[in-house]
Amino acid sequence: MDKMTVRGGKRLKGEVAASGAKNSALKLLFASLLAEGEHVFHNVPELKDVESAMALLESLGCACRREGKTLRIHVKAPKTYEAHYDLVRKMRASILCLGPLLAKYGQAQVSLPGGCAIGTRPIDLHLAAFRAMGADIQLREGYVHAEAGRLKGASILFEFATVGGTENAMMGATLAEGVTTIENAAKEPEIVDLANYLNKMGARITGAGSSIIRVEGVERLRPAEHTVIPDRIETGTLMIAGAITGGEVTVTRCVPLDVDALILKMRESGFKVEHGKDSVTVWGEKGWKGVDVTTAPHPAFPTDLQAQFMALMTVAEGTSVVTETVFENRFMHVTELLRLGADITPKARVAVVRGRPDGLQGAPVMATDLRASASLVLAGLIAKGETTISRIYHLDRGYERMEEKLKGLGADIGRV
Ligand code: EPZ
């Protein structure tokens, strides 16, 4: 099994381009199920999770063809309406095929995803939305069995601004009879990207990116062509990579506005951050200070950058309080950061990080999930000596060619 080795202490410098957003690409791929024919996606990152989404689409009878960053999906009437456990357990986002299958074909059997390293992650809000739209939903033998005639427009009010729930409901509503309103909708940029694509297919969605989304159902949708937005979490991770080494890094082909919450926190901590229309540059000398951060749905500080920001805080001057409000178990990286010499006290959803500007030393550590692996790579960039990160396959699920990108900026990093 692959391990990554980082020898810390190199100042990163230069330009690096962001890839297409994983969390947008996956939903766009599933949305293609809403219309038979050929869909074309550009800027699709080459990631394990995208391969898993393609495998699921192929198991349903679609034909996927990749040419570099372009992905062509030929959607045909499914051979089966089942998303098998073996595919869903590899990638929870597979639950996002439920809305499209149910809306287009009136049925779907999707394996329940189960818990994962960062929390129990139920899908009750997704199911409540489909029930409100008139679907009959049963849970049997580990599967969601969903059936409906044509879905009916409904008023949905989410208890929590769930990203996946908003996306699933929005996709389902595109072909429903009548109007659906989704209140307390999630406002992430990936939701706007999905709505833009669905509208290209002929859907009538307004309000995506705000907390109230309105979808006027249509009779049918058509295939479309779309370019995936840049990955804001990868952008933020690369910005922190520059910052933690006291270097100067420009991330190009990104959307600076999508990392606004991170930019504000980095400036508060003492870094200089400047941005153009589609690039952002971070630089700073040693001596940044500890700042508090609380994760929450967009546009607040993203939970998907919490682990990476914590790595930055382990070598700040002073104390930082990191509060995780989105997931109940997203501090798995803490015990591994402790192995590198960090001084952190986690208590439930709050971690107190006492910065040690020269304190990290390389050690063998283990990745537990995608963003935790990224935080260990970042910590490795500043730790003295060698850090070996095992279970690095977590990183490959969501970061395209991470070590090549970091090497290009001057990092001493490789795989064993
Ligand atoms: C998406 O997950 C992302 N995944 C996550 O990225 C991201 O961390 C998360 O949104 C929050 O931004 C993809 O886009 C594929 P949620 P999702 O529904 O949709 C609870 C990464 O590292 N909840 O907004 O699953 C849930 O348990 C990943 O790239 C319910 O209780 O997130 C969690 O505590 C990890 N019932 C909270 O809401 C539900 O029915 C937020 O979940 C649905 C969610």
Identify the sign of the CA torsion 332, 336, 338, 340.
negative
Residue 359, pLDDT above cutoff 90: no
DSSP string, 83-121: E-HHHHTT-GGGGGGHHHHHHHHSEEEEE----BTTB--
Containing 269, the helix (H) or strand (E) segment is: helix 260-269
- Cα of 112 from ligand 1 centre, angstroms: 15
Q: What angle do CA 146, 147, 151 make, to 5 degrees?
A: 110
Cα–Cα distance list, 67 to 46, 52, 119, 128 (Å)? 11, 17, 36, 39
Total-model pTM: 0.98
Per-residue tokens: 278? 């589609």
Q: What would the mean pLDDT of 272-299 be, rounded to a whole number?
A: 95
- Share the mean pLDDT of the chain: 96
Q: Which residue has the tokens 């937005």?
A: 229
Per-residue tokens: 17? 């381009």
Residues contacting ligand 1 via CB (< 6 Å): 23, 26, 93, 119, 121-126, 160, 162-165, 186, 303-304, 326-327, 370-371, 398
Virtual torsion, Cα 391, 394, 399, 404, nearest 10 deg: 10
Q: What would the mean pLDDT of 108-115 be, rounded to a whole number?
A: 88
Nearest to 342 by CA among 331, 332, 353: 353
Instruction: Give the whole-angstrom CA distance, residue 325 versus residue 312.
Output: 19
Instruction: Give the whole-angstrom CA distance, residue 177 versus residue 117.
Output: 38
Instruction: Give the whole-angstrom CA distance, residue 307 versus residue 363.
Output: 18
| 116 annotated active-site | yes
Task: Compare 207 and 284 and report the one with higher pLDDT.
Answer: 207
| pLDDT computed for residue 285 by the predictor | 76
Residue 14, pLDDT above cutoff 70: yes
Q: Hey, whose CA ends up nearest to atom 43 of ligand 1? A: 123
What is the separation, in whole angstroms, between the first and last Cα of the chain? 9
The residues near 166 (Cβ < 8 Å, ≥ 6 apart) are 158, 182, 185, 186, 191, 213
**Pocket residue to mutate for ligand 1, from 19, 22, 23, most atoms within 8 A of Cβ:** 23
Residues in the chain, total: 416
DSSP 116: B
What SS3 state is found at 76? coil
**Pocket residue to mutate for ligand 1, from 163, 231, 234, 369, most atoms within 8 A of Cβ:** 163
Using N-to-C axis directions, what is the helix angle for 370-382 and 332-339, rounded to 10°? Answer: 20
Q: Which residue has the tokens 């045909």?
A: 76
- Cα of 353 from ligand 1 centre, angstroms: 25
Residue 115, pLDDT above cutoff 70: no
Instruction: Give the whole-angstrom CA distance, residue 105 versus residue 93.
Output: 20
Residue 166, pLDDT above cutoff 70: yes
Q: What would the mean pLDDT of 59-69 be, rounded to a whole number?
A: 97
Per-residue tokens: 373? 């692996």
